[in-house]
Chain A
Amino acid sequence: MFMIARSAALTAALTLALPGLAAQRAPSPPSVLAITGARLVPVSGPVIERGTIVIRDGRITALGANVTAPADARVIDGAGLSIYPGLIDAAGSLGVPRAATGGGGPGGFGGGAPPAASQQGTANSAYPVGQRPEVAVVDLLKADAAQWSGAHSAGITVAHAIPNSGMFRGQSAVIALGSGEVPALVVKAPIAQAIAFQGIRGAFPGSLMGVFAAMRQMFLDAQRYGAAVAAAARDPRGSPRPEWNPSLEALQAALAGTMPVVFEADTEREILRALDFAREFNLKPIIAGGDEAWKVATRLKAENVPVLLSLNFPKPTAAPAADADPEPIRVLQGRVDAPKGPGRLAAAGVRFAFTQGGGTSWSDHLPNMRRAVAAGLSPDAALRAHTLAAAQILGVADRFGSLEVGKAAHLAVVRGDIFDSTSRVTHVVVDGAVTELPAPAATAANGRPGGGARGPGGPGGPGATELGGTWMTTVAIEGTDHTVTIALRQDGQRLIGMLQGGLGVAQISHGELNADGEFRFTAPVTLRDGTEEAVFVGNLTGNAIRGGVSIVGHALGRFSGTRPAPAGTIAAPVANQPTTH
């Protein structure tokens, strides 16, 4: 592990970004800022109802009711403002270009084109793309302050950045969402090894079963590699030199328990699989996602496993077609349970921090935190999950997560109280640099689901690659048409959902979507000669999907489907006839 020292020179520049001047950097000194007469919420201590906070050279140098602004400070009148520590997105891929680690090109189940993109700095890896734990997110990050606008609007100033594709995703980092180059943004790296139960297109492992086999084999190989290297070190003259293997090398810290392993796991069974796997190799697990973590709370608490909990609560994305099957109770119940999850985890004593959860928009982020509070989570616990608890889980609490003298000047400045739905994040301060956030253009009354992610290059705006919703689909297999309702929910690049109708009822697994609208998922389907696994590979265009279905023992099938347009975007929803043949 290494810590990149924050460079005062880089971060000291105080940018008071006004609309139209956002990209400009103010002349260097003065690098002193004071916000006076504000409500200060330090998280680590009691609220100061009216006080002043002073920032100098990127760090907090004073705060309190009786603090006065230094003579050389730029002063912001804090009347009506509440100041919180900059919020932390405890897991995500902020700053990582989409599919930078390559999920593979088009292709399908078994066979397929080689991955389109390569993982940087891993040219000599012994393993294929997607199985390279040596990948470091710091090598993938692209600095572009415009991409933070969505996160900033939710008060986020620090993020835990994880490579965004593959099974062994690689090593994560904590970054500051500032305006410098990558070296200036990296707070700490590596933080954790990240694993997702995601196969590799067109190669082994292509299924969830294969993923577990491949992970298990790789950790076994890493154990043996560690033993061989240690044996050679003990007796360099009496033993052969072990072949260098960067992938197995990279897993040593995880095996030694000095680097935690973040498992992306949402459902109860995914979480149990992650915990069981971690136990098998004595890893230090962290759960990211955690939709159903509350169902496993007892075990998470007993094993002291923290959860990086998604605030991307499931929601219906579009009105169902008139003739769609009713949604399963399980799905309906899941939506009602989601906001209750954080409160239940807190009650069970499970450590957790909030994440944006790879959703397509930031506009739900704080509203969903408020929903969690309305559903039973204490405001204090909610705030901690966004600040100090996150910093502690990620190992950066020495500098982040609270308003304390000496800590990094990361602030979320809110007009009103952050738990009040009418409040608004007006500024964020990142390493002492102030960004003033534009007021929303109009009240978001246009009903566009997911709202609008602000700024190009944000974490995926809604639109072209939003696959959530209920799809009325026709699946043609060897001359027979099957009418199937496919209910999909998109979680970043992951797809989860159900398939119902003429091919039986099944949960889909292994779903993923790339930025070009190409997607795939697998589901067991019931045909005349038995239940077999079908792999759907297709493309999304607007409100239409089409593609191929691979089923073992059958010729390649075809599917096409439509969904009713998201409500509010089309004046006359009557126009959407869900029949496609």
Chain B
Amino acid sequence: MKSTLWTLLAAVAIAPALAAQGTAPVTIIRNATVLTVTNGTLTGTDLLLRGGKIAAIGTGLTAPAGATVIDATGKFVMPGIVDPHSHLMSDAINEGSLSVTSMTRIEDVLNPTSTGIYRAAAGGVTMLNILHGSANTIGGQSATVKLKPGKSAAEMLVPGAPPGIKFALGENVTRKNSNVTNQQQRRYPYTRMGQAEVLRDAFVRAQDYRAEWADYRARGAKGVPPRTDLELQPLVEVLEGKRLVHAHSYRADEMLMLINLADEFGFKIKTLQHGLEGYKIASEIARHGAGLSTFADSWSYKIEAYDAIPHNSAILVRHGVLTTINSDSDERIRRLNIDAAKQMRYGGLTENEAMRLITINGAIQVGMGDRTGSIEVGKDADLAIWTAHPFSVYARVETTFADGEVTFDRQRDQAMRETMAQQRAELEEAPENKTPASGGGQGGRGRPAPASTMTEIDQ
């Protein structure tokens, strides 16, 4: 709790400060070790960030007038971390009432004031794939955002990012039924067999729906048009390859079922999410062209996770599967660099292969590989300056940039802690925050003393 407290405080105070900066300042980062991910590691290198893009990479770059100059001697720059599976900053995760809830959209419920945004930025994360939960076979539409504390939801949504949708297989869908009380009805499906049926039924309905509209248009679009069906419309987009499918799945058999079903209907699974048994069917996954996004080393927390191994991502990478490590957690999202580093230990990925798991591969999985995920001229200025190699347990983020804007800065954060402690002390003294008993002097408990706040934020 102690470390979370100051970030909680900081997120509130930093918001106006960052918002006031205006968009896309010009920054030059000098003499860094740059992990480009796509073009090797460059030492003693300068980076020019301008107009929200990486404008130049080289040595001895000339600083434009008015540019902020950061001396990064002895420091490392890596691309902003991409988390392909997050539920951060979402006011709802599951619409679990029905088996098909493709009509729901994460975009409708984004919470730009979520404290986690700032915390994730402090971990060097710049972009998220925010997914619907795994309560039902076909979940809601996902949102791709860049983390910009203090900005509105609309400003964080990535323009031009391809739309996505969540599917879910296995125990979370069936175990949803374990929560029912005697007054509730169980919700179909109860088995993996049923999940396959739900998918097939939904796509057959989507095909019919598409045909109905095609027929209407073929007849000159006369008369009252067919109903616009918000449930089936996104599935038509899946059939037409316009919407990326991110499918929560654990076991090899259910992943194969989904791949076969997608082949049957002629669409592609963009990513298998979690896919802890992916290593058993790595070739089949590669053949379909799906990516896979997994945990670094989580297993045995439920039956379908018993066969998980930490070598999963390495085996998948060796079989040519576009693989990523995700957090699926508002807490672990801050340490994805360490989760990636573990993949060098387990399975022997190279440093660059491991780095790809949390950068460019994730960008490709959400259809943004040409815009972010690596340090290249012309790409979005999404990156972070680290005090040491990001795979070191001693590495900390100094500064994070998203679209060239500072989204976290350690020095500023340190300075803010004092002002925020002051702010808290003043707020706690405000009459609006006095409980009926406090201040009355008759032994009522007051607020925790401001001094304790200071101690906590020193962590």
| Selected interface stretch from B128-136, B213-221, B402-410 | B128-136
Question: Chain B residues with Cβ under 8 A from A506's Cβ?
Answer: 330
How many angstroms from the CA of A61 to the CA of B327 in the assembled complex?
72
Assess whether B436 is in contact with A567, with CB atoms less than 8 Å apart.
yes
Kindly identify which residue among B8, B113, B178, B230 contacts A220, using a CB–CB cutoff of 8 Å: B230
Which of B109, B331, B446 has most chain A Cβ within 10 Å? B109
Question: Quick check: is A93 within 8 A (CB to CB) of the other chain?
Answer: no
Assess whether B437 is in contact with A567, with CB atoms less than 8 Å apart.
yes
| Selected interface stretch from B17-25, B63-71, B196-204, B424-432 | B424-432
Count, A-B residue pairs, CB within 8 A? 273
Task: Tell me how far the C-beta of B69 lies from the nearest C-beta in chain A, rounded to whole angstroms.
Answer: 33
Assess whether A336 is in contact with B430, with CB atoms less than 8 Å apart.
yes
Assess whether A209 is in contact with B423, with CB atoms less than 8 Å apart.
no
| Selected interface stretch from A62-70, A170-178, A452-460, A546-554 | A546-554
Contact with A along B90-108 (1 / 0, CB 8 A): 1111111110010111101
Question: Chain A residues with Cβ under 8 A from B62's Cβ?
Answer: none
Smallest CB gap from A331: residue in B: B433
Task: Tell me how far the C-beta of A551 lies from the nearest C-beta in chain B, rounded to whole angstroms.
Answer: 8
Assess whether B424 is in contact with A326, with CB atoms less than 8 Å apart.
yes
Q: 10 tightest A-B contacts by CB? A: A567-B437, A111-B184, A533-B93, A530-B328, A332-B427, A209-B104, A213-B103, A212-B108, A553-B172, A210-B95
In chain A between 279 and 328, which residues have their CB closer than 8 angstroms to a CB of chain B?
313, 315-322, 324-328
Smallest CB gap from A111: residue in B: B184
Assess whether B444 is in contact with A319, with CB atoms less than 8 Å apart.
yes
Kindly identify which residue among A113, A328, A335 contacts B184, using a CB–CB cutoff of 8 Å: A113
Q: What number of A residues sit within 8 Å (CB to CB) of B?
A: 87
Question: Chain B residues with Cβ under 8 A from A550's Cβ?
Answer: 179
Question: Chain B residues with Cβ under 8 A from A205's Cβ?
Answer: 95, 97, 104
How many angstroms from the CA of A318 to the CA of B109 in the assembled complex?
31
Assess whether B185 is in contact with A111, with CB atoms less than 8 Å apart.
yes
Task: Tell me how far the C-beta of B4 lies from the nearest C-beta in chain A, rounded to whole angstroms.
Answer: 6
In chain A between 198 and 223, which residues have their CB closer than 8 angstroms to a CB of chain B?
202-210, 212-214, 216-217, 220-221
Task: Tell me how far the C-beta of A29 lies from the nearest C-beta in chain B, rounded to whole angstroms.
Answer: 49
Question: Chain B residues with Cβ under 8 A from A338's Cβ?
Answer: 432
Assess whether A566 is in contact with B436, with CB atoms less than 8 Å apart.
yes
How many angstroms from the CA of A562 to the CA of B152 in the assembled complex?
36
Question: Chain B residues with Cβ under 8 A from A464's Cβ?
Answer: none
Question: Chain B residues with Cβ under 8 A from A204's Cβ?
Answer: 95, 97-98, 101
B-side interface residues toward A, CB under 8 Å?
1, 4-5, 8-9, 12-13, 86-88, 90-98, 101, 103-106, 108-116, 132-135, 140, 152-153, 171-172, 175-176, 178-181, 183-187, 223-225, 227-231, 298, 301-302, 305, 327-332, 420, 423-424, 427-428, 430, 432-438, 440, 443-448, 452-453, 456
How many angstroms from the CA of A227 to the CA of B221 in the assembled complex?
14
Smallest CB gap from A210: residue in B: B95
How many angstroms from the CA of A326 to the CA of B435 in the assembled complex?
14
Task: Tell me how far the C-beta of B406 lies from the nearest C-beta in chain A, rounded to whole angstroms.
Answer: 21
Assess whether A552 is in contact with B176, with CB atoms less than 8 Å apart.
yes
Assess whether B93 is in contact with A532, with CB atoms less than 8 Å apart.
yes
Kindly identify which residue among B1, B88, B101, B184 contacts A202, using a CB–CB cutoff of 8 Å: B184
Assess whether A224 is in contact with B92, with CB atoms less than 8 Å apart.
no
Question: Chain B residues with Cβ under 8 A from A509's Cβ?
Answer: 91-92
Smallest CB gap from A316: residue in B: B435
Question: Quick check: is A108 within 8 A (CB to CB) of the other chain?
Answer: yes
| Selected interface stretch from A30-38, A151-159, A520-528 | A520-528
Kindly identify which residue among A108, A228, A326, A329 contacts B447, using a CB–CB cutoff of 8 Å: A326
With A552-B135, A553-B171, A555-B179 known to touch, is A111 a contact of B230 (CB < 8 Å)? Answer: no
Kindly identify which residue among A109, A210, A330, A501 contacts B179, using a CB–CB cutoff of 8 Å: A109
Kindly identify which residue among B134, B330, B453 contacts A552, using a CB–CB cutoff of 8 Å: B134
Question: Quick check: is A42 within 8 A (CB to CB) of the other chain?
Answer: no
Assess whether B96 is in contact with A110, with CB atoms less than 8 Å apart.
yes
In chain A between 203 and 258, which residues have their CB closer than 8 angstroms to a CB of chain B?
203-210, 212-214, 216-217, 220-221, 224, 227-228, 231
Task: Tell me how far the C-beta of B453 lies from the nearest C-beta in chain A, rounded to whole angstroms.
Answer: 6
Q: 8 other contacts beyond A206-B95, A501-B1, A529-B305, with CB at 8 A cut-off?
A: A202-B97, A216-B230, A319-B438, A329-B420, A533-B94, A555-B179, A556-B181, A566-B436
Q: What are 25 pairs between A and B in contact, CB < 8 Å?
A: A112-B184, A216-B103, A217-B229, A220-B227, A269-B110, A269-B111, A319-B435, A319-B437, A319-B444, A332-B424, A332-B428, A336-B433, A338-B432, A339-B432, A505-B116, A528-B298, A529-B301, A529-B302, A529-B328, A530-B332, A531-B86, A550-B179, A552-B94, A552-B135, A555-B179
Task: Tell me how far the C-beta of A324 lies from the nearest C-beta in chain B, rounded to whole angstroms.
Answer: 8
Assess whether B180 is in contact with A111, with CB atoms less than 8 Å apart.
yes
Smallest CB gap from B4: residue in A: A505
How many angstroms from the CA of A273 to the CA of B110 in the assembled complex?
10
Question: Quick check: is A46 within 8 A (CB to CB) of the other chain?
Answer: no
Assess whether B445 is in contact with A529, with CB atoms less than 8 Å apart.
no
Question: Quick check: is A449 within 8 A (CB to CB) of the other chain?
Answer: yes
Task: Tell me how far the C-beta of A281 lies from the nearest C-beta in chain B, rounded to whole angstroms.
Answer: 12
How many angstroms from the CA of A221 to the CA of B112 in the assembled complex?
31
Kindly identify which residue among A209, A507, A530, A551 contacts B140, using a CB–CB cutoff of 8 Å: A209
Assess whether B133 is in contact with A568, with CB atoms less than 8 Å apart.
no
Question: Quick check: is A107 within 8 A (CB to CB) of the other chain?
Answer: yes
Question: Chain B residues with Cβ under 8 A from A221's Cβ?
Answer: 227
Assess whether B430 is in contact with A532, with CB atoms less than 8 Å apart.
no
Assess whether B432 is in contact with A315, with CB atoms less than 8 Å apart.
yes
Smallest CB gap from B152: residue in A: A272
